[in-house]
Amino acid sequence: MSTPTPHIGAKAGEIAKTVLMPGDPLRAKFIAETFLEDVVQFNSVRNMFGYTGTYRGKRISVMGGGMGMPSIGIYSYELFNFYGVDNIIRIGTAGSMNENVKVRDVVIALGASTNSNYAAQYCLPGTFAPIASFDLASAAAAVAKEKNINAVVGNILSSDTFYCADQTATEKWISMGILAVEMEAAALYMNAAQAKKSALCLLTISDSLITGESLSAEERQLSFTDMMEIALEIAE
């Protein structure tokens, strides 16, 4: 397909090789304005704002991906397959499902288990394991260690539902050692696998399904900065 695509108004070459992808397009705007220099906006279709700029001389893009796997599925597919993007780093929030994963912690999503049917499109003769790029995940773990950021590495749940009718679902995922729940990483990892590209999902724990604790807006901002430092450092 040629560019622009149905969902991204950018021309070829306007998007960097690495894209940071928060769910919220206004978060993308904030990141571009706060952390990047020489910023140019490349998308406003459906208000899913996207920007390209530089961070310490590195060319980086940042674009919203929306909520849920159908949404990030569309944007990451078009970026990988039509805009030549090599790396997508999702930066989001998640609910903790593990007593050792506290609010404000950063989670590096090594694997993304899911209750979604996204993988059905590949007609595989078994179950696919959506995983992060090893290079991006190990780089993120190294940066977290160097900067004394409390980061936990492991398996997360990408859920199709925020409000789940099955009240027993959470404890079943907990029994399999799932660290936290969000709603996008599995589709991102599957699109990266199919396109032979790289993806990583970094998460800030905003609330806990175990303790019921949740972050205030101010605390969110603080821990969001930890995750951003990691993402900007590993972007190339």
Closest CB to ligand HPA among residues 129, 210: 210
Q: 4, 53, 68, 95: which one contacts ligand HPA (CB under 6 A)?
A: 95
Please report where in the chains the tokens 């220099």 appear, as a residue.
Answer: 37
Shortest distance, position 72 Cβ to ligand HPA, whole Å: 13
Residue 165 phi/psi, 5-degree rounding, is -65, -30
Is there a binding annotation on residue 156?
no
Query: Is residue 104 within 8 Å of 219, Cβ to Cβ?
Result: yes
Is omega for the bond preceding 125 within 30 degrees of 0, making it cis? Answer: no
Burial pattern 58-74, b for ≥16 Cβ within 10 A else e, equals ebbbbbbbbebbebbbb
Q: How far is CA 110 from the centre of its chain?
A: 12
Site for ligand HPA in 184-213 (CB under 6 A): 206-207
Shortest separation between residue 127's beta carbon and ligand HPA, angstroms: 22
Site for ligand HPA in 102-161 (CB under 6 A): 159
Our finding on whether 182 is near ligand HPA (CB under 6 A) is: yes
Residue whose CB is less far from ligand HPA, 121 or 214? 214
Q: Give me the residues that bind ligand HPA (CB under 6 A), please.
A: 93-95, 159, 162, 181-183, 206-207
The residues annotated with a catalytic role in the active site are 207
